[in-house]
């Protein structure tokens, strides 16, 4: 009887499956004059676009342009990226990391923080709230390893990673955790937030910024009355239209460009269970223009007007949460127990409100960033800032110039009027043509 050796064929088939399911990553520093091209060619997989954006964003790279196209079961993403100074990528270690990370994309990618306890806080924002929170943690001998704080529409969300000061390890004393929960809940409730204040302790480590978006979304910050800002900022323009012929919903966004803008938008769409099939992102000195062709995860477009309104509100909130309001203060000082409590107490005593904070400790040194306004959300006068610096230490606390707000007051008329509509219309027609949905866009 003739025997057939089919193993080589199986090996080749397995190799084909590996090639099909492994993204092909190409990085080109020649094809574009002012940016590095990052191209990902792969079999379609839900969530891959978000994961790619997250990898690039976590490296503090700026995504200047982006094109996404999903044709059947295949996907092509093209990103135009630069460093924070607007230069092409020159560091070979970063290029190698991008190729490796994007070539082996998987979900739930997160920064590793070993042996910590995570504390999640949401509630009504007020002057001095962070000072009270850090005072409780200091009193309980909890060391803040890392933390981020966002505020939006009068709400606050904070994710704090802690270690026990005495042991230097994760806090596993159940009585201490119960005491911390009770005291922090009382701080969050204050006098008027009994129902909506929330506090959760866990041992899990997640992607901090993803989790902050989820916490504020669950808190329904997008439904709260917006806070009027003295610098003239207002919500970006978001529109949702349907292309029923092809079964897509088209989401258009026009706003001021800023770092991590694309991540905030794409994560929100993904978390609301929409899948991006095609996208075009373009940024200029005048603003960012984002267009997405989306469907529900079940393949249907957005059908109800109420749902369109909800998508609009949620995307506006996602963009606004990270907006840098106030004066940026950078603290660089040798870390010690109670340092955050001391610094934020000085802020409170000078009626400064922390609108956003990024707290970290590296090799025993605290490297913290605070954005502060006065109690009413207005710009802080220079005398107050100098008084705060004198108390904390002028060599430790420095004032950094803020980027321009994502909507300039002198641009308000153009953004509200025909310029935005013209930009949206041009971008929409160009993409409808490229997708074969219309015969001409000229």
The CATH number covering residue 389 comes to 3.30.70.260
For residue 290, give Cα distances in angstroms to 231, 253, 266, 336. Answer: 24, 5, 10, 44
The string of pLDDT tens digits covering residues 400-418 is 865 443 333 333 333 343 3
**Residue 422 and residue 376 share a domain:** no
Does 313 share its domain with 425?
Answer: yes
The whole-number average pLDDT for the span 326-348 is 95
Strands 274-284 and 24-28: what pairing? unpaired
Of the candidates 98, 112, 94, 108, the residue with the CA atom closest to the CA atom of residue 50: 108
Tally of domains within the chain: 3
Give the model's pLDDT for residue 426.
Answer: 47
Same domain, 270 and 311: yes
Length reported for the chain = 442
Residue 345, domain extent:
117-206+324-400
Q: Is residue 128 part of a domain?
A: yes
Domain end marker among 64, 80, 103: 103
Task: Assess whether 338 and 284 both reside in one domain.
Answer: no
329 and 397 Cβ atoms separated by less than 8 Å? yes
* Cα Rg of the chain, angstroms: 24
Looking at the fold, whether 311 and 331 belong to one and the same domain comes out as no
The helix (H) or strand (E) run that includes residue 375 is none
Is residue 367 included in any domain, yes or no? Answer: yes
Last residue of a domain, one of 103, 136, 156: 103
The per-residue pLDDT for 292 is 97
Kindly state whether residue 12 falls inside one of the protein's structural domains: no
Work out the end-to-end distance of the chain between its first and last CA atoms, rounded to an integer number of angstroms: 69
- Which has the closest alpha carbon to 278: 264, 287, 267, 266? 266
Answer yes or no: do 167 and 305 share one domain: no
- Same-domain check for residues 373 and 312: no
Q: Is residue 253 included in any domain, yes or no?
A: yes
260 shares its domain with 300: yes
Q: What percent of the chain has pLDDT over 90?
A: 64
Q: Are residues 79 and 55 in the same domain?
A: yes
Instruction: Judge whether 4 lies within some domain.
Output: no
Domain membership flag for residue 345: yes
Q: Do 27 and 98 reside in the same domain of the chain?
A: yes
Same domain, 361 and 312: no
> For the residues 51-68, what does the mean pLDDT come to?
95
Q: Is 82 a residue whose pLDDT tops 50?
A: yes
Task: Select from 187, 124, 133 the least CA-distant residue to 162.
Answer: 133
Query: What is the arrangement of strands in the sheet containing 36-43, beginning at the earlier edge strand?
Result: 24-28, 36-43, 74-82, 62-71, 274-284, 287-296, 248-255, 237-243
Residue 424 domain-assigned (yes or no)? yes
Residues 420, 287 share a domain: yes
In-domain check, residue 227: no
Which tens digits make up the pLDDT trace of 255-282? 999 999 999 999 999 999 999 999 999 9
């Amino acid at each position: 009887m003739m025997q057939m050796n089919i193993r080589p064929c199986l090996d080749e088939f397995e190799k084909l499956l590996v090639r099909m399911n492994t993204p092909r990553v190409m990085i080109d520093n020649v094809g574009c004059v002012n940016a590095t091209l990052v191209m990902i060619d792969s079999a379609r997989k839900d969530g891959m676009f978000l994961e790619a954006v997250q990898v690039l964003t976590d490296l503090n790279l700026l995504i200047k342009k982006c094109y996404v196209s999903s044709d059947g079961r295949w996907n092509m993403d093209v990103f135009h990226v630069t460093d924070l100074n607007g230069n092409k990528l020159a560091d070979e270690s970063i290029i190698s990391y991008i190729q490796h990370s994007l070539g082996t994309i998987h979900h739930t990618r997160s920064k590793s923080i070993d042996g910590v306890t995570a504390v999640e806080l949401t509630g009504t924002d007020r002057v001095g709230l962070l000072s009270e929170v850090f005072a409780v943690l200091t009193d309980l001998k909890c060391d803040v390893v890392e933390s981020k704080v966002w505020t939006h529409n009068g709400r606050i969300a904070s994710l704090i990673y802690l270690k026990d000061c005495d042991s230097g390890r994760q806090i596993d004393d159940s009585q201490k955790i119960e005491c911390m929960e009770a005291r922090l809940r009382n701080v969050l409730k204050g006098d008027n937030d009994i129902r909506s204040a929330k506090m959760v302790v866990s041992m899990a480590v997640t992607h901090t910024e993803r989790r902050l978006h989820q916490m504020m979304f669950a808190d329904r910050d997008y439904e709260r009355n917006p806070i009027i800002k003295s610098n003239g900022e207002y919500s970006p323009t978001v529109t949702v239209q349907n292309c029923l012929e092809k079964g897509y919903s088209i989401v258009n966004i026009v706003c001021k460009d800023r770092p991590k803008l694309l991540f905030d938008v794409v994560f929100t769409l993904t978390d609301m269970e929409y899948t991006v099939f095609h996208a075009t992102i373009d940024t200029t000195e005048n603003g960012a223009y984002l267009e997405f062709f989306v469907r529900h995860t079940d393949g249907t477009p957005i059908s109800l007007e109420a749902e369109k309104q909800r998508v609009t509100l949620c995307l506006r909130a996602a963009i606004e949460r990270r907006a840098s309001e106030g004066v940026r203060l950078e603290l660089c000082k040798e870390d010690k127990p109670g340092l955050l409590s001391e610094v934020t107490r000085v802020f409170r005593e000078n009626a400064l409100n922390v609108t956003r904070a990024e707290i970290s400790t590296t090799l025993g040194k605290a490297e913290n960033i605070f954005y502060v306004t006065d109690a009413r959300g207005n710009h802080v006068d220079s005398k107050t800032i100098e008084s705060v610096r004198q108390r904390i230490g002028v060599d430790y606390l420095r004032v950094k110039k803020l980027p321009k707000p994502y909507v300039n007051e002198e641009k308000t008329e153009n953004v509200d009027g025909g310029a935005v509509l013209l930009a949206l219309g041009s971008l929409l027609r160009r993409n409808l043509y490229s997708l074969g949905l219309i015969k001409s866009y000229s």
